[in-house]
Amino acid sequence: MAGFTPYVVGAAKKEKQADGEAGGSAATHGQPGSELDMIRVIELLKPPSALAPLFSDVGAQTDTGYFSRQQARAVLEGYIKGRQLVDAKNPRMVKLDHRLCDGLLTKEEHSKLSTYPREKLQARLQEKMTLYTQVVLPGGPTPVKIGNPPCAEI
């Protein structure tokens, strides 16, 4: 318990960040509580083969083939804007093309829908992509594994 550092919450955390910015880089490897000494769980997403053409049309590639949730969201937004699929009457609605239909909609929805809400398309994209997790330990990263991270009891 000698090296215990309490978790900083709320306003105290903001003050600590402001002090760190003003005083330079306070977090260095080896100091208790530094970001390098923390265990982190990183969620990664991998597009299935049905979504691969959508990602390749945008030119979205990563070295590992995995994307963060923000990157996946940006890929879909880039595709929508690049193809000018935003509905002119309602910007929240997206006109569906063959790539979006094939990758994100069910077979029943293909013929029934011509537009779809942007938020629901984003949610569908996240559902369709395969979840991978990586636990990063202080000694270095561990391999990426499919599914949710293992439960840890503290």
Over the stretch 61-100, which tens digit does the pLDDT of each residue have? 887 889 999 999 999 999 999 999 999 999 999 999 998 9
More confident of the two residues 32 and 129: 129
pTM as predicted? 0.69
Count of CB atoms situated within 10 Å of the CB of 141? 11
Q: With CA atoms as reference, report the closest residue to 75 among 93, 91, 56.
A: 56
Contact yes or no for 65/46 (Cβ under 8 A): yes
Band of residue 2 on the pLDDT scale cut at 50, 70, 90: low
Determine the pLDDT at residue 27.
42
Band of residue 25 on the pLDDT scale cut at 50, 70, 90: very low
